[in-house]
Amino acid sequence: MPYNNFPYTDLHNLNLDWLVRQVKANTELLKNTNFRQLLSEALQQAIDDGTMEELIDQQVLTDITERLNNISGDVTDLTADSVMLERRTATATVAMLGRPAADTADPDRGYSLCVVIYNDDVCVVYDTGNDNAEYLLTYLRGHGVAKIDAMILSHYHSDHVTLAGVNAILASGIPVSVWYLPHGGIDWSRYTGTGYASVETSIKAAITGAGDVYIQPNYEGYPITLDGGIALAFYNVDPALYSSYYAYMLDEDLNVADHTNYNNFSMCCRVSCGGRMLALTGDIEEPAQVNMAPMVRGADITQLPHHGLDLRDALVFISSLSGKIFLTAAYGVSRYYRLQYVANTMLHHARDLGVSISTLDGSTVECLMGGSGCWINTSLPGRPTPLGTFGDCIPAGADLNDYTTPGFTGYVQNGTIAAQVANTPSDTGGGRLWVIASNQNSVPANDMVQVWLPGHAFANPSVYMRTLNAGTWGAWIEFTHA
């Protein structure tokens, strides 16, 4: 009953008899009403005039469709989440293969650079080594790897890849999905000396002749996504970077050579798996290291460039190293025991950061990377990289008077460079330099001692020393130790 029809507004004077009568009248009405019939008639009317159809279309079916769309979106999101979870938790084995060189049995000369990254779903190989891929194929078969999803060649030096090695892989019965080849934009006409254009042409012809496909990445960060939670990104492939490489003509002994140093054209690659990253750097030297410093930042595992040889390395590259595992391939050509006894400043820094291991003595190294971290397989731990060093390279044009930092250790490579370095002891050729503070109050401008050891002490059995006092260097004094 509407409020305005209520007979009393003063509830204190409410007529209860009237209220009882109203309730009784309405109760009788309800008893005499056939609600089933009323509902049946109303439904029939709704069906006849289309109201029911409209109600079902607009209310029921629309609601069902909306719910289905939401479920479909949830399924899509769930699928994407599961893929992301798979990538975050994926794990891969990283193996740097090694064994002594068969022709010399020299433990310092090994299989050289060949890195395999694989899990149950995917396999990536970086270089094939210097034995025509023999040990690579043995390793793959021994670990049940039936295909190579990405075969990456860093550059065409024979301790990294040969035409015979490529042909061995093509004939192995282990298919390669895609070959990734280096420096598509190199200008061989700007390359001084004998280049590797003919080797490159022969390898390309072998790949296409076997019906395989190759790609030459041509911009920095060129991305590839593979199964098994593994992704690749390629670097040092932009031809614009090469302008500083063509004129770099120092050889592996830091002598001025008559040809371009080819190592700088090595194609580098970052491999990501389970949120972890491996940096592969080939044989890059100083100019390429400057360009590749950002590429190694954040890497959990890094393959250190050029077999750990004691060369002129870029400080910005060394300071960009991160992570905990550093891999160094034993030298694969003809520098006997060089890594065995002389490890460079980069390797010392790597050991300070984490674990620095190599394939010396033909030792294969295996480690794992993925969502749960990075660690070394204790059954294939490689060999700790030796800690000997000559220190920093003192280049042509330097002045030994400028070397006043306590603790500095460096070397002048040979007589040719020594002739271009000021204030060395006369007629000693190359040599090693130590800078020593004379007391605990020494500062860079005062009270330093330099000690010079000729490079071939047996030919010049002397040690030279001089002192810095109040900013002035004294004369070199010779001490003969014969």
Q: Which of 338, 289, 284, 328 is nearest to 307 (CA)?
A: 328
Distances (CA, A) of 28 to 1, 31, 36, 452: 16, 5, 17, 123
Query: 90-384: what CATH class?
Result: alpha beta
Long-range pairs for 4-11 at CB < 8 Å and ≥24 separation?
A: none
The mean of the pLDDT values for the chain is: 84
Tens digits of per-residue pLDDT, 288-339? 999 999 999 999 999 999 888 767 788 899 999 998 999 999 876 655 556 6
Percent with pLDDT over 90 in the chain? 48
DSSP for residue 140: H
Helix (H, G, I), strand (E, B) or coil at 51: helix
| Model confidence band, residue 3 (pLDDT cutoffs 50, 70, 90) | very low
**Runs of H (alpha helix) within 3-127:** 16-31, 35-48, 51-55, 62-89
Residue 435: its H or E element: strand 431-437
Percent of all residues in the chain with a pLDDT value above 70, rounded to a whole number = 79
| Contact (CB, 8 A) for 137 and 174 | yes
Between the alpha carbon of residue 279 and those of residues 181, 321, 340, the distances in Å are 17, 10, 24
Is pLDDT above 70 for 75?
no
Q: What's the rounded Cα separation, in Å, for the pair 468 and 126?
A: 50
Which residue in 231, 222, 221, 268 sits closest to 370, CA to CA?
A: 231
Residue pLDDT, tens place only, 227-259: 888 999 999 999 999 999 999 998 776 778 889
List the domain boundaries for the chain.
Answer: 1-83, 90-384, 392-480
**95-117 pLDDT, tens per residue?**
999 876 666 666 666 778 999 99
Q: What is the reported pLDDT for 428?
A: 78
State the helix-helix crossing angle for 163-170 and 134-142, rounded to 10 degrees: 30
Looking at the DSSP bridge assignments, the partners of residue 250 are 256
Output phi, psi for 431, to 5 deg: 180, -175
Residue 308 sits at φ, ψ, to 5 deg, of 70, 20
User: Residue 11 is which amino acid?
Assistant: L
pLDDT of 6 > 80? The answer is: no
pLDDT on residue 79: 60
Phi, psi of 292 (to 5 degrees): -95, 5
Report whether pLDDT(76) > 70. Answer: no
Nearest to 454 by CA among 414, 400, 423: 414
> Residue 111: its pLDDT value, please?
77
Tell me which range, 13-17, 63-67, 152-156, 274-278, is most confidently predicted by mean pLDDT: 152-156
Predicted confidence at residue 24, as pLDDT, reads 67
Q: What is the pTM for the complete model shown?
A: 0.72
